[in-house]
Structure 1
C-alpha cells in the first residue's frame, strides 16, 4: 500500500509498528513525531522512520493513517488536538493504549466529524524501552485488539487491518467495554496484586532483612510485573477504575473465603482450592502470547563449580543465541533449577534448550 503513515510517539511500540508497517508496505512513507527530540532523531538515524515531522499537527495533516503510540492520558490530549486539525477526509486514526472505553469516548468528537477512529491495543512489550529497542517482529503471534465503534465503515476497518498485516499479530475485534473488562482481569488486576505483594514483603523487610534475600527466587519471578512503569500504570488504573474496583472487591471476598478455610482448618476445601487453581493454570496455552508479556526463562539444574556459567554461555555463543539475562537462584522453593537464563523470545529459548541438551546432561525446565 502507498500513503503516509504518521506515528506519534516513537518508543518501543511506535517504533516497532513503524518497522513492521514498512516491512510489508515498502512504498509507504513513515513519518514520525515525538515530544523528545532525541528519540525522533534516533528514529530517523536508525531508519525506523523515513522522516520527522516538525510538529504533531504537520504530521497529522499529511497522513493517511495516524497511529497514536503514547500513554493513555497523552493519547486523550492528542485526540482532542486532532479535532481542530485539517485532516484528510479518508484518514484513519488509531491508538495503542491499554484501556479503550475512555479513549473511545474521547474519540467520539472525531467520529462526529466523520473521521474514522478505531481503538487499538497491540498486546506485546519488552524488558527494553525506547525506539532503539524497536523490532519488526515484536507483535508476531501476539494478540492485537481492535475496538471499532458500532457504526464503523467496514472498508476503513479492512484498510487498517491491511496496514497492520506486517505485524503478523492475531487481530481480534471486540467492544471497548469488553476490552477493558478482559484486560482488567488478565493484566491490570494482576499488576495491582503484584504491587501489593511487593509492598507486603517490603513492610516485613523492615522487621527482618532476610526477607529481601529469600524473595530473590520464585517471589521475584511472580512479582516481576510490579517493576513496570509506575506512571503508565497509574494512568491505566485510573482509566479502568470501575473494572478494577469490581475485581478488587471480588478479590477481597475470595481472600475472606481463604481466611475462613484457614481459621476453621478446612483441609479438604483448601486442597480443592489449590487443586482447582493448578488445573486451570496448567491448561493455559503454553506458547500463546497473552495480556502480560511473557518471560522466556530456561531453568538449568547445574552443579556449583567454577566456570559453569562461562561454559554454558560459550555453548550458546557458538550457536549465536542471544540471552537477555542470567542469574543464580538462592531461593528455589517451587522452582526447578539453580541457573535461570532469559531470552527475548520462545524460539531462542527452545534453541538454547536443544543446544544445552546436546552438550550436557543437566536437567532443564521451562517456567
Structure 2
C-alpha cells in the first residue's frame, strides 16, 4: 500500500484490514494496524485516520459507517497487489464482483471450491457459483422452495446449500434429476447429438442418489437455520408436474439439464410455480457453442406465453430469468 499517499496531519494512521498487515517493522508511532474497530475507544476512532481494506464490501461498508458515525476520518489509497491466485483473493483496485460484496457468498464459495475440487474439479465454476449465491440472496424474502433440475455430481447444489446455511436462509431444497444421466429414449432421439449415454455417476439411480445424499446431506444448516433437503427422480420430458405439495411456490431454481428439449421442458414446468420476484438460474445457455441446444431451449421458452412474465438478465457470465409479471 502506498503509504506516501496518506497525508498525515498529526493523526494516528490505522491500516484497518482483514487482508493486509504492516510488515517489516513498519508499525509504530503514528502508523498502526488493526483488524477491526472493536479494540479502539470512541476517542481513538474520532481522532484517527483509517485506511480501510476488506475482503468483502459489506464489512467495508460497516467499518466506514462506524468511522463516520464516531466522527472519525478515512482515506482510501492506491495499492499494488501481488499476483492474484484466484477470484477468492481480492487484488487490485477496479470493478468489484459479487463474491467481494457478500461475506456469506465468500464463505460459501470458498468452502464449496474446496469440497467440489475433490470429486468434480471440472465443475468448479466460480462465476456460476457467484450467480447462485446472488440469486439466493436476492430472493431470500420470496416465499417458496429452492429447486434444482439437473444435479449431476452435486457441485451447484453444494454451493447453494452452503450459501443458505451461511446466510441463515430457511428454505426447503428439492434436487431433481434422472440420476442415471442421459440414458432415456428422448436423449437418443433428440436432434441434438452427443449427450446420449453420458453423465451417469453410478451403476444405478439409487446408487447415484446415495452418493449425493452423502455429499450434500451434511451441508444442511443446523438449528433450524435451513429447511429440509429432498432428492427425487424426475425427468422434465415425462410431462409430470414437479413433486411439490399443492400450492407450493418456487422462489429460486437452477435448471442445468444441457439437452435442448429438456431445457425447454424444465423451464416450462417451473414457470407457473415462480412468483413475482422469483428467479431461475440457467448457466447452460451461456456455455456456448458447446450448449447450443440449451440456448435454443432457453430462447424458445423465453418467447413462449409461459416465458413472457420473465425478463432475461446476464448476471456475471450466466443467464437468469427474473419473474416480473
User: TM over 0.5: same fold?
Assistant: no
Higher helix share: 1
Give the TM-score normalised by the residue count of structure 2: 0.31
